[in-house]
């Protein structure tokens, strides 16, 4: 069955450093992948979408890569700030016409001042 894995352990980094979060998937060939930010008790907020034919996508301090051979996406936040502290979810598109999106459990990022 399809499986998405994100680091369950929180990522602690110092302000100003680059945070890198990982999303791995198996038994899946998504056409695109999305990253969301979620704050406690609030709905996820869309950040970036990357398609299978795109290796990298950037938006301000955010960068996403998509390696369909490794079945992995990396999400980078450069010059991180305490306000970036949140849980980050990756989501894979419905494949095979199933129209059912699948979300990872998310990784908590904590940026220390």
Partner 1 sequence: DSGVTQTPKHLITATGQRVTLRCSPRSGDLSVYWYQQSLDQGLQFLIQYYNGEERAKGNILERFSAQQFPDLHSELNLSSLELGDSALYFCASSQNSWADTQYFGPGTRLTVL
Query: How far, in Å, CA of 2 to CA of 76, rounded?
Result: 24
Q: Does 70 bind partner 1 (CB under 8 A)?
A: no
Restricting to residues 35-54, name those near partner 1 by CB under 8 A.
Answer: 41-46, 49
Binding part of the chain for partner 1, among 19-27, 58-66, 74-82, 102-110 by CB under 8 A, reads: 102-110
Q: CA 53 to CA 38: how far, in whole Å?
A: 27
- Say how many C-beta atoms besides its own lie within 10 A of residue 72's C-beta: 15
Distance, in Å, from the CA atom of 31 to the CA atom of 19, rounded to the nearest integer, reads 25
Positions in 82-101 near partner 1 (CB under 8 A): 89, 93-94, 98-101
Site stretch for partner 1 (CB under 8 A), options 16-24, 58-66, 67-75, 103-111: 103-111
CB of 20 to partner 1, least distance (A): 21
The bridge status of strand 32-38 relative to strand 86-92 is antiparallel
Positions in the binding site for partner 1 (CB under 8 A): 31-32, 34, 41-46, 49, 89, 93-94, 98-106
């Amino acid at each position: 069955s399809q499986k998405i894995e994100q680091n369950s352990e929180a990522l602690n980094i110092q302000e100003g450093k680059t945070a890198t979060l990982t999303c791995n998937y198996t038994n899946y060939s998504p056409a695109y992948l999305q990253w969301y930010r979620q704050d406690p008790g609030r709905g996820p907020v869309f950040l970036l979408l990357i398609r299978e034919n795109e290796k990298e996508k950037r938006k301000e301090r955010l960068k996403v890569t998509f390696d369909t051979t490794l079945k992995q996406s990396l999400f980078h936040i450069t010059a991180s700030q305490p306000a970036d502290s949140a849980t980050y979810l990756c989501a894979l598109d419905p494949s095979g016409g199933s129209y059912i999106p699948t979300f990872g459990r998310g990784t908590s990022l904590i940026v220390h001042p």
